[in-house]
Chain A
Amino acid sequence: MVLIFAVTTGVIFACGIYLMLRRSMVRLIIGLSLLTYAVNLLIFSMDDLSTRGAPIIGATEPEKMADPLPQALILTAIVISFGVLAFTLALAYRASQAVQSDNMDVLQSTDREV
């Protein structure tokens, strides 16, 4: 279980970073979202990965409960990354319209003297 988890997280990280290093805006955004998923998995693995009960009083014995905090952290992180990625998507769409290209290398007008 731990091995599968570690390998999966690592592969997603690698994919995300690989995609982010491409020149395409769309790939950049897919890469960013993969990166956030990988981080969520990483935080999830901070708890014991064995199967435990839901951390709800009454449903599970306190000794057999999973740690609720990493789950709460992930939930918050998902919410935040949802908002940020939606904004990034809209931004990239507008930017690609403005520069008529999907290529990140074209975005240089702010770095040059006019």
Chain B
Amino acid sequence: MTRSVFFKFLARLMMPVLLLFSLVLLLRGHNQPGGGFVGGLVGASSIVLMTLAYGADDVRARLRIDFLRAMFYGVGIALVAGLIGLIFGDAFQDAFWWKPYIQGVGRLEAGTPLLFDVGVYVVVFSVTCSIVMSMAEEGERDDVG
């Protein structure tokens, strides 16, 4: 299967943009449209794009992430975010915020909902990637055989 040069170039151009955009979506997600799920999907789409352009083996060789494990780490992060509320607050997933004011930047907002979103981001990112990659690998094997 030959892959277009234009497509490869565009994919490389788009990948950092998509990743940055996914981070923006993640960080604003707790009180504006966005969040871990959308962010994770957008982030994964950058990897999907690279997989389409360069092939699954190439991408996997460079990424070296065990998606299955990453997925469970994501669940772990989300669990920790919920546990903080349970231990220090009233109930599981009780929200805690930390809002320092940084001179010249503005008010920073970080809290357990954001941590939860990070966990969701990791889960969605790795699940999507692992599904697409395994399917792409199967397809490539079919092309050869």
By a beta-carbon cutoff of 8 Å, the part of chain A in contact with chain B is: 56, 75, 79, 83, 86-87, 89-90, 93
For B32, the chain A residues whose CB sits under 8 A away are: 56
For B127, the chain A residues whose CB sits under 8 A away are: 83, 86
Q: Which residue of A lies closest to B128 (CB)?
A: A86
B37 engages A79 (CB within 8 Å): yes
Whether, in the assembled complex, B138 has its beta carbon less than 8 Å from a beta carbon of chain A, the answer is yes
B37 engages A90 (CB within 8 Å): no
A93 engages B131 (CB within 8 Å): no
- What is the interface of chain B mostly: helix, strand, loop, or mixed? helix
CA separation between A93 and B135, bound complex, in Å? 9
9 contacts between A and B (CB under 8 A): A56-B31, A56-B32, A79-B37, A83-B127, A86-B128, A87-B131, A90-B131, A90-B134, A90-B135
Given known contacts A86-B128, A93-B135, what 13 new A-B pairs fall within 8 Å (CB)? A56-B31, A56-B32, A75-B37, A79-B37, A83-B127, A86-B127, A86-B131, A87-B131, A89-B135, A90-B131, A90-B134, A90-B135, A93-B138
CA separation between A89 and B128, bound complex, in Å? 13
Q: Which residue of B lies closest to A86 (CB)?
A: B131
A109 vs chain B, min Cβ distance (A): 22
Q: Which residue of B lies closest to A59 (CB)?
A: B32
CA separation between A75 and B41, bound complex, in Å? 13
For B138, the chain A residues whose CB sits under 8 A away are: 93
B97 vs chain A, min Cβ distance (A): 16
